[in-house]
Amino acid sequence: MSRFKRRSGIEIKTPEELVGMRRAGLVVADALATTATAVKAGITTAELDAVAAQVICSSGATPSFLGYLGYPATTCISVNNEIVHGIPGPRVLADGDTISIDCGAIVEGWHGDSAVTVQVGTGSAEATALSEATRLAMWHGIGAARLGGRIGDISSAIEDYVDSLATAYGIVADYTGHGIGSAMHQPPDVPNVGRAGKGPKIVLGMALAIEPMLTAGEPDNSVLGDDWTVVTDDGSIACHWEHTMTVTEQGIWVLTSPDGGEAMLARLGVPFGPLAD
Task: Say whether 54 sits in a helix, a strand or coil.
Answer: helix
Compute the half-sphere exposure of residue 79: CA atoms within 13 Å on the CB side of its CA: 20
Whether residue 36 contacts residue 116, with contact meaning beta carbons closer than 8 Å, is answered with: yes
Using CA atoms, how far apart are residues 14 and 241, in angstroms rounded to an integer? 27
Would you say residue 4 has pLDDT above 80?
A: no
For residue 84, pLDDT beyond 60:
yes
Q: How far is CA 248 from CA 57, 135, 152, 155, 274, in A?
A: 30, 23, 18, 20, 7
**pLDDT score for 275:** 96
The residue among 92, 83, 102, 132 whose CA lies nearest residue 236 is: 83
Q: 55 with 27: CB under 8 angstroms?
A: yes
Share of the chain above pLDDT 70, in %: 97
Q: What's the pLDDT score for residue 87? A: 98
pLDDT tens sequence across 198-242: 999 999 999 999 999 999 999 999 999 999 999 999 999 999 999
- Compute the residue count for the chain: 277
Q: Per-residue confidence at 272, pLDDT binned at 50, 70, 90?
A: very high
Q: Element (H or E) spanning 254, and its range? A: strand 252-254
- pLDDT score of 277: 58
Quickly count: other Cβ atoms within 10 Å of residue 94's Cβ.
Answer: 12
Alpha helices by DSSP H, listed for the chain, are 15-38, 45-58, 125-143, 151-164, 262-268
- Given a contact cutoff of 8 angstroms between Cβ atoms, the answer to whether 172 and 215 are in contact is yes
pLDDT at 120 > cutoff 70:
yes
pLDDT attached to residue 131: 98
A 10 A CB-CB count for 223 gives 13
Q: Please, which residues bridge with residue 170 across strands?
A: 215
Beta carbons within 8 Å of 230's beta carbon, 6+ residues apart:
78, 82, 83, 84, 85, 174, 175, 221, 222, 223, 224
End-to-end CA distance of the chain: 22
pLDDT at position 112 over 50: yes
For residues 27-48, give the mean pLDDT. 98
Residue 2 has pLDDT above 70, yes or no: no
pTM of the model: 0.96
AA identity, residue 4: F
> Percent helix, strand, coil in the chain (nearest 5)?
30, 25, 45
Identify the three-state secondary structure at position 169.
Answer: coil
Instruction: Taking each helix axis as running N to C, give the angle between helix 45-58 and helix 15-38, from 0 to 180 degrees, rounded to the nearest 10.
Output: 140
Average pLDDT, stretch 92-106?
Answer: 98
Cα dist from 62 to 2, 23, 198, 241, whole Å: 20, 12, 35, 22
pLDDT at 7 over 90: no
pLDDT for 1 beyond 80: no
What is the residue-averaged pLDDT of the chain?
A: 96
